[in-house]
């Protein structure tokens, strides 16, 4: 799957919005990703998962690990394509951890998968949890890379599409100056 195909599909299905958004970081942006809009279609989720898995076909992984909630659907599909098990981490009182009786064998090779990577916070936390549980992170993949190379990740990120999203501080935003209505997608459960 080529980058342009992924982005066209996302735009078509309302997973890539153009407008004026306040991101969870507080910054304002003209684009916003809602991958759930594409992943709600199981066949498309499977295709995206297979496309990510394709990027990692030359390595061997024992399991795929993703952060809840955003990474679960796509991580599961990558694991399906690789024929490996899937484990997710989740936050409890703000702390990322592995619960529900999930465990890793010592030295297992882990592919970490996320839907959208921006600052890389969740990916770094998942990597820490994997290591605390005895695993070794040997790959990091996502549907969208919007880090603009600014995220500090333990390994290079392999994404289906790389998108440079412009962001501005709330008090110095051209869209605010133009009077474009601001939406806060995070407040509706993203
Ligand atoms: Zn603004």
Closest to 96 (Cα-Cα) out of 132, 58, 64: 132
Other C-beta atoms within 10 Å of 65: how many?
28
CA 17 to ligand 1 centroid distance, Å: 15
State how far the Cα of 186 lies from the Cα of 174, in Å rounded to an integer.
21
Q: What is the residue extent of each domain of the chain? A: 3-188
CA 179 to ligand 1 centroid distance, Å: 8
> What pTM was estimated for this model as a whole?
0.90
Cβ atoms of residues 87 and 102 within 8 Å = yes
CA 9 to ligand 1 centroid distance, Å: 26
CA 24 to ligand 1 centroid distance, Å: 13
Other C-beta atoms within 10 Å of 76: how many?
21
pLDDT at 186: 57
Question: What sign has the CA pseudo-torsion 70, 22, 121, 145?
Answer: positive
pLDDT at 189: 38
CA 14 to ligand 1 centroid distance, Å: 21
pLDDT at 5: 95
CA 117 to ligand 1 centroid distance, Å: 22
CA 183 to ligand 1 centroid distance, Å: 9
CA 182 to ligand 1 centroid distance, Å: 6
CA 33 to ligand 1 centroid distance, Å: 17
Residue in this structure with the two tokens 């412009």, named with its chain if needed = 166
Question: Is the pLDDT reported for residue 188 higher than 60?
Answer: no
CA 29 to ligand 1 centroid distance, Å: 7
* pLDDT 10s digits, 33-71: 999 999 999 999 999 999 999 999 999 999 999 999 999
CA 122 to ligand 1 centroid distance, Å: 25
CA 149 to ligand 1 centroid distance, Å: 23
C-alpha dihedral (18, 19, 20, 22), degrees to nearest 10: -40
Cβ atoms of residues 72 and 45 within 8 Å = no
Task: State the DSSP H helix or E strand holding residue 150, giving kind and residue range, or none if neither.
Answer: none
CA 176 to ligand 1 centroid distance, Å: 4
Q: How confident is the model at residue 22 (pLDDT cuts 50, 70, 90)?
A: very high
State how far the Cα of 150 lies from the Cα of 70, in Å rounded to an integer.
21
The domain defined by 3-188 folds into Rossmann fold (3.40.50)
């Amino acid at each position: 799957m080529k980058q342009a195909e992924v982005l066209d599909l996302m735009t078509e299905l309302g997973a890539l919005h153009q407008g004026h958004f306040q991101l969870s970081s507080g910054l304002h942006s003209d684009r916003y990703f809602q991958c759930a809009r594409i992943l709600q279609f199981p066949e498309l989720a499977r295709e995206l998962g297979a496309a990510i898995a394709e990027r990692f076909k030359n390595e061997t992984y024992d399991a795929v690990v993703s952060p809840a909630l955003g990474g679960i659907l796509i991580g599961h599909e990558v694991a399906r394509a690789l024929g490996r098990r899937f484990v997710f981490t989740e936050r409890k009182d703000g702390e990322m951890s592995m619960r529900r009786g999930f465990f890793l064998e010592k030295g297992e090779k882990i592919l970490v998968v996320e839907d959208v990577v921006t600052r890389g916070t969740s990916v770094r936390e998942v990597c820490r949890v994997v290591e605390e549980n005895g695993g070794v992170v040997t790959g990091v993949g996502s549907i969208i890379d919007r880090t603009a190379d600014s995220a500090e990740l333990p390994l290079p990120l392999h994404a289906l599409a790389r998108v440079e999203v412009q962001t501005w501080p709330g008090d110095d935003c051209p869209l605010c100056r133009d009077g474009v209505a601001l939406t806060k997608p995070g407040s509706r459960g993203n």
